[in-house]
Amino acid sequence: MPTPPRRLASMVAIAASLLWATISVPLARAQATDGGAGQDRLVLFDSAKLLATGGVSQLEGAAGGGLAPWALIAGYGSRDSLGGNAHYTVVKTPNFLLQSEGVALGVADRVELSFAHEALDTGSFGATLGLGKGYIFGEDIVGAKVRLFGDAIYAQDSLIPQVAVGAMYKAADRRALVLALGAHDSAGVDFYLASTKLILDQSLLVNATLRMTRANQLGLLGFGGPRDNGYRPEFEGSVAYLLNRHVAVGAEYRSKPDNLTFAHERDWYDAFVAVFFDKHVSGTLAFVSLGSIATSGPQNGVYFSLQIGL
């Protein structure tokens, strides 16, 4: 299938931003370190952070858990470098197949830029909905995250968590249909504040995220609706326990808005195991409950994600 123009434009914009960050940020930091004197040192990917401290790729492209973004910055780059990853995620439930693919870049362990494309395949249930078998809802997501304060990795003697603020611009590709289903808009922006605390001597990570959103089913079914068209706060929480340096187990919860009248939306949760083979490859397997989707529920199934990065 040819790449839609809007998706192509988003990919080009992200690529340009990543290229600019790759050229400018590490060089500027190196110049500042040298006082502007001597030979400039361009540091790209130093992979200096501890294993597993970049998190995994969240469904919408941000670094974090599978369901919730964390305050951690994507990749293993230190404050003098870049880090990044690419992911492919699939969630299979009785009636639906949700896929997400994307890339994320961490700049100086301070800023994160991401792009993801999601596709919800309705399978045979699409015919029941009158859309046709295998009807697909798609969505492009461009994200940005900035670490405000705190250091989840190195500030172990402090009670202050790492805190980051982020935004996700989302555009559904079935505009006419999602508006006909009751959504007020086919595009919108989510805003979130994430707080992450890593307790290394307890091998424990705890995250809490507050998201302001109007999105229906992540935005795949548009934004707002007859029940509620305004922004409302939603809570997302994660807890992970490191069994060893390479394996983490945990659970997540994500509350959801319920804006559409034709189909109620329910909260999501999962229980996962993540394996970090090294700093370049990781995989996550989870049981996930997505509640009711488009009048069909409950949608419980299997989540799998593969991440490759630096």
Collapsing DSSP to helix, strand or coil, 67 comes out as: coil
- For residue 36, give the DSSP letter: T
pLDDT bucket at 13, cuts 50 / 70 / 90: low
Tell whether 33 is covered by a domain. Answer: no
Nearest Cα neighbor of 216 from 237, 234, 243 is 234
Decide which of 87 and 28 is more confident. Answer: 87
Tell whether 9 is covered by a domain. Answer: no
State the total domains in the chain: 1
pLDDT digits (tens, 9 = 90+) for 169-213: 999 999 999 999 999 999 999 999 999 999 999 999 999 999 999
pLDDT digits (tens, 9 = 90+) for 55-83: 899 999 999 999 999 999 999 999 889 99
Average pLDDT over residues 2-16: 50
Average pLDDT over residues 78-105: 95
pLDDT digits (tens, 9 = 90+) for 265-300: 999 999 999 999 999 999 999 999 999 888 887 899
Tell whether 186 is covered by a domain. Answer: yes
For residues 167 and 169, give the distance between their C-alpha atoms in angstroms, rounded to a whole number. 7
Q: Which domain holds residue 57?
A: 46-309
pLDDT at residue 22 greater than cutoff 50 = no
Tell whether 21 is covered by a domain. Answer: no
Q: Which helix (H) or strand (E) holds 28?
A: helix 5-33
CATH of the domain at 116: 2.40.160.40
Tell whether 143 is covered by a domain. Answer: yes
Tell whether 16 is covered by a domain. Answer: no
For residues 100 and 117, give the distance between their C-alpha atoms in angstroms, rounded to a whole number. 6
Nearest Cα neighbor of 161 from 192, 195, 209, 193 is 195
For residues 85 and 95, give the distance between their C-alpha atoms in angstroms, rounded to a whole number. 30
Instruction: Compute the residue count for the chain.
Output: 310
Decide which of 142 and 264 is more confident. Answer: 142
Report pLDDT for 26: 46
pLDDT at residue 23 greater than cutoff 50 = no
Task: Please give the angle made by the CA atoms of 22, 27 and 72, to the nearest 5 degrees.
Answer: 55
Collapsing DSSP to helix, strand or coil, 211 comes out as: strand
Q: Which helix (H) or strand (E) holds 236?
A: strand 232-242
pLDDT bucket at 9, cuts 50 / 70 / 90: low
pLDDT digits (tens, 9 = 90+) for 35-61: 544 444 546 888 899 999 988 999 999
Report pLDDT for 54: 86
CB 143 within 8 A of CB 112: yes
For residues 91 and 60, give the distance between their C-alpha atoms in angstroms, rounded to a whole number. 13
165: β partners: 146, 193
Report pLDDT for 27: 45
Residues in contact with 73: Cβ distance below 8 Å, sequence separation at least 6, in sequence order: 54, 63, 83, 106, 107, 109, 110, 111, 112, 145, 147, 164
Report pLDDT for 1: 40
